[in-house]
Amino acid sequence: MALSELLQQLYPHGEPAERDLDFVEVFAGDAAVSQGMRLFGFAGVSLDARYEPDHDVLSRRGFLLLLSLVARLRPGGLLWAAPPLFDVGLHGSRVDPPQHTPQRRP
């Protein structure tokens, strides 16, 4: 996809995004970062594909959503994109965390 097509989808009327967000948290999980930011009065959005399929940043829709939200960040805003832990492998398959077997001491 050409950049001009992408921009047309993000801004169909040619208008820039309103800069109204202080943070965007990607792969939010339980949204701990977002909760902390909100406690301090910051405005933002939490994205996690486990809770909302449209938040899958590997899909066209999710990627465009992410780009549009990042464009709304105020100057000095925070993009927090912590990678998921033990959730998704390289090809989108589920990966379970390693099993830890406690060692017995003699």
Name the band, by pLDDT with cuts 50, 70 and 90, for residue 6. low
Q: Please report the beta strands in the chain, taking only residues with DSSP state E, as ranges in sequence order.
A: 21-26, 44-47, 73-81
Give the span between the Cα atoms of 63 and 44, in whole angstroms.
17
As a whole number, mean pLDDT of residues 55-65 equals 88
Kindly report whether the global pTM for this prediction surpasses the value 0.85. Answer: no
Name the band, by pLDDT with cuts 50, 70 and 90, for residue 35. very high
Residue 87 scores a pLDDT above 90: no
As a whole number, mean pLDDT of residues 40-66 equals 90
Give just the sign of the alpha carbon dihedral 16, 19, 20, 25.
positive
What pLDDT score was predicted for residue 14? 65
Tell me if 43 sits within 8 A of 22, measured CB to CB.
yes
Give the phi and the psi of residue 4 in degrees, each rounded to 5: -65, -35
Give the span between the Cα atoms of 29 and 90, in whole angstroms.
19
